[in-house]
Amino acid sequence: MMTDLPQTRGALTPNRPLDALTWLRVGGPADWLFQPADEDDLADFLRGLDPSVPVFPIGVGSNLIVRDGGIRGVVIRLGRGFNGIAVEGDRVTAGAAALDAHVARRAADAGLDLTFLRTIPGSIGGAVRMNAGCYGSYVADHLVEVRAVTRQGERIVLTPDNLRFAYRHAELPEGCVLTEAAFRAAPADPDALHAKMAEQLARRDETQPTKERSAGSTFRNPAGFSSTGRADDVHDLKAWSLIDRAGLRGHSWGGAQMSEKHPNFLLNTGGATAAELEALGELVRRRVLEDSGHELQWEVIRVGDPLPQPQDD
C-alpha cells in the first residue's frame, strides 16, 4: 500500500472496508478512502497524487459490487461539502453527493419537474455517469452541464455534447470526479408534482423489492430503454422478462438470489459474498443467452479484485 500521499483537509483512511458503503453490503477494503472537504481539497489532492495511483469515485454505493479482495488505489467518496441543492429560475443545481430523491423533491417544491429522479436510488454524480432514467425520462433530457475535477486536479465544465450520452452511459475522462450538475426543468404545479411522485413510489414498492438488500436493476434492458410506465409499454426485451422466461426468478447461489418479486433485482439475502453475487449474475447471463439469444449486459458496476484462491499443497 502506498503511504506517500498528499496532505488533505478531508478524511483519508487507510485499508478502509467498503462493504458498509454499498447497498449490497459486500466488498473488501480500499487501500485508501478519501473524503474531501470541498472541491479545492479534492483538486489539490488529485494534483499532488502520484499519477500512477488509480482513483475510483463512488457515490452512495447503490449500483455497485465491490469484489471481496477490495480496491487498489484511492477510493473517493464525496460527502457533505458536495450535497447542496439550489434553484434559480428553471435551473436546478445539485452537488454530486445530493441524493436523487432529494433533488426531485426540492425541484417539486419550486414547481419544477424532475420527478423522474424520485425513484432512482443513489446520488446525482452516479445518475449522470449512468444517464439514469425511468418513466421515459433520462438525465440527458435535462442536463445543462456538470462541474468535474480531472485526475490531474484540473477543474472542468462538461456539456451533454462532451458526455456523449447513451442508454445507461456517459463518457467521462478516466479518474474524473463529478462535483456538481445543473439541470433545466419544466414548470408545473408543486402539489401535482408531489402527487405524481407519491404515485411513482407506490408503483415502485408494489413491483420492486425495495425492502430487500439490492443494487437496483442488475442488467440493462436489451430493448435499449427503461420502462416508460405507460399502458402501451412492451416487455419482450426487458431484462426481467428474459430472466423470468429462462426460469431464473428466485434462483439463488449461496447468499445471493434473483428476486422473486422482480427477477432483474440481485439480492443479498444475508451473508452473501461479492463472489456469490457476481457468480449468480454470470449464471443468469449464460442461461438467458442460451434461452433467448440475448446477451445481458451488467448495469450494476463491478470493481476491485477477487480474493486470492487458496493454493493446493
**Is 164 annotated as catalytic?**
no
- What strand order describes the sheet that includes 55-58? 11-17, 29-35, 71-77, 55-58
Q: Which of 39, 180, 276, 299 is catalytic?
A: 299
Contact 59, 126 (CB under 8 A): yes
In whole angstroms, give the CA distance from residue 285 to residue 66: 19
Q: What is the pLDDT of residues 247-263, one digit of tens each?
A: 999 999 999 999 999 99
pLDDT bracket for residue 1 (50, 70, 90) = low
- The predicted pLDDT at position 225 comes to 67
What is the β-pairing status of strands 133-134 and 265-268?
unpaired
**How many CB atoms are located within 10 Å of the residue 247 CB?**
11
> Could you give the 3-state DSSP secondary structure of residue 74?
strand
Percentage of the chain beyond pLDDT 90 is 89
pLDDT digit string (tens) for 189-239? 999 999 999 999 999 999 999 999 999 999 999 977 666 555 554 556 899
Phi, psi for 239 (deg, rounded to 5): -60, -40
Write down the residue that cell numbers 459474498 correspond to. Answer: 273
Residue showing cell 458503503: 21
pLDDT at res. 313? 53
Distance CA 168, CA 176 (A): 18
Q: Give per-residue pLDDT as tens, 144-199.
A: 999 999 999 999 999 999 999 999 999 999 889 999 999 999 999 999 999 999 99
Residue 308: what pLDDT? 83
What percentage of the chain carries pLDDT values higher than 70? 94
Query: Could you report how far apart the first and last alpha carbons of the chain are, in Å?
Result: 28
pLDDT higher than 80, residue 277: yes
Residue environment code for 150-186, b if the CB has 16+ CB neighbours within 10 A, otherwise e: bbeeeeeebebebbebebbebebeebbbbbbbbbebe
Strand ranges, E, within the chain: 11-17, 29-35, 55-58, 64-66, 71-77, 85-88, 91-95, 112-113, 133-134, 137-138, 143-149, 155-158, 177-184, 186-187, 214-217, 252-253, 256-258, 265-268, 301-303
Pairing verdict, β 265-268 and 214-217: antiparallel
- Rounded average pLDDT over 118-127: 95
> Looking at 137, 217, 226, 227, which residue is catalytic?
217
- Taking residues 114-118, report their average pLDDT: 97
Using alpha carbons only, how large is the chain's radius of gyration in Å?
20
Long-range pairs of 101-110 with CB within 8 A, sequence gap ≥ 24: 103/183, 104/197, 105/194, 105/197, 107/183, 107/185, 107/193, 108/190, 108/193, 108/194, 108/197, 109/190, 110/190
pLDDT(59) > 60:
yes
Is 62 in the active site?
Answer: no
Residue 294: which of 267, 260, 264, 258 has the closest Cα? 264
Pick the catalytic residue from 168, 220, 285, 287. Answer: 168
| Residue 226 is a catalytic residue | no
Cα(81)–Cα(197) distance, integer angstroms: 27
Task: Tell me the average pLDDT across 131-156.
Answer: 95
- Per-chain mean pLDDT for the chain: 94
C-alpha to C-alpha distances, 212 to 102, 111, 114, 179, nearest whole angstrom: 21, 33, 26, 30
Determine the pLDDT at residue 223: 77
**What cell does 101 get?**
430523491
pTM equals 0.91
pLDDT range class, residue 136, cuts 50, 70, 90: confident
pLDDT at position 134, please?
87
pLDDT at 11: 97
Partners of 227 in beta bridges: none
Q: How many residues does the chain have?
A: 313
- Which sign, positive or negative, has the C-alpha torsion 231, 245, 242, 101? positive
